[in-house]
Amino acid sequence: MLEVITAFFLLILHSIVYLFSSGETKQIAKKHIKEILNSPDGVIILIVAAALLIGGYIYIFMVSVYDYKLKLYSSI
């Protein structure tokens, strides 16, 4: 499960790096992204993406803490 979440975040990171590269098609993509984010629906999409990102970090943290406690108590 952790690998799937990590792969998802790496995909998002790669997409962001790709958009900030140079090139004509990339400039067009940047223009479309700006148009989407400046629309009212874009704000909602941005809020949902931020909530999913924060929720993902919390989930990963909770899984790692639970796994650590499970190993700690099972060794007693």
- List, for residues 39-70, the tens digit of each pLDDT value: 888 888 888 888 998 998 888 888 877 776 76
One-letter amino acid at 37 equals L
Average pLDDT, the chain: 79
Give percent of the chain above pLDDT 70: 84
Residues in the chain: 76
The secondary structure of the chain in percent helix, strand, coil, rounded to multiples of 5, reads 90, 0, 10
* Count of other CB atoms within 10 angstroms of residue 9: 14
pTM score of the predicted model: 0.47
Q: Which residue has the tokens 């099972």?
A: 74
